[in-house]
Amino acid sequence: MSAFKSSREITTASIVFVFLLAFGLILDGHVFAEVGNDNCMACHQDQSQLKAAHRDCLSCHVGSEEHARAPTRVKPTEVGTQQCMDCHGSDRHFAQFAFSDHAQAGLECTACHGIHEPAFENRDVGLFRTDPSSAQCVSCHQDVRAQFHMTSHHPVIEGGATCVGCHNPHSSASLSLQSRTEQCTDCHQRVRGPYVHEHPAVVEDCSTCHNPHGSPNRSLLVMDEPMLCLTCHSFANNRHGLTGSNALTEAALFQPVPGSAFRQCTSCHAQVHGSAQDQFLRY
């Protein structure tokens, strides 16, 4: 009799368990079907002003149905680069992000991009008046920010240029598939050439002479004349050193030149980017 009673209790318990399990699954399915943006916005009202493409919360916060059921016990799913790439990965501008310096440093898309806010809210905009993307860049690249405040600088602060005008933050450190000089002369077309007599420094790399972000010297020069010119054009064993009768001796280098107007190399060698007439870039 005892064995029969025990068996009946086990059977009853099993039936109740199966019933509760089935009810739970049905309820779970019902709750899942009901979870959507309205559920999210009931609590997250501060994030209701979303861009159109980001208005489906569950597209990015995958698996957050559990959070909707028990918001105090279960945290919402964090959004990382993988969720962003599910939509944006097919765009050629972002396809190489995994190989970029930013990705290699462990930065997620959300380090620079706000998912919920329509603009760069809560970001350090500093003195950047018209370009929030550049302000975002210098919130990390503080050394570059300082250069933008030097006497001679690219007009990023004033809104005349942007960081992303030269740099692709989603790709490698290389500016683009172009050479650095080609990149610069996309804007600075006056010095593009070609010239009959080229200045090798221009052909090789504009940054040989110029700091593209800013400099205490005129025209973004990395150092002032005549020392800048003499880093290449001094003695015969230098990269573009002069030889023979044109060689610069130490005595000639430091010989005083009469008149302050003639103490710069460019007082005579004016066409420093290239010349159509003179091999010494004078005219």
Residues 135, 148: Cα–Cα separation, whole Å: 11
Q: Which pLDDT band, with edges at 50, 70 and 90, does 231 fall under? A: confident
Does the bond joining 216 to the residue before it have cis omega, within 30 degrees of 0? no
> How far apart (Å, rounded) are the C-alpha atoms in residues 171 and 280?
39
How many angstroms separate the CA atoms of 255 and 86, rounded?
67
pLDDT at residue 120 greater than cutoff 70: no
Give the amino acid at 133. Answer: S
Burial of 73 (0-12, 13-18, 19+ CB in 10 A): exposed
The pLDDT of residue 4 is above 50: no
Q: Any idea where the domains of the chain sit in the sequence? A: 2-81, 88-166, 193-275
- pLDDT exceeds 60 at position 148: yes
**How does residue 154 score in pLDDT terms, banded at 50, 70 and 90?**
very high
Angular region, 244: left φ>0, alpha ψ -120 to 50, beta rest: left
Looking at the whole model, is its pTM more than 0.75?
A: no
Q: What is the DSSP letter of 210?
A: B
CA 54 to chain CA centroid, Å, is: 22
User: Tens digit of pLDDT for each residue in 43-95?
Assistant: 877 666 666 566 678 778 877 777 877 777 788 777 888 888 888 888 877 87
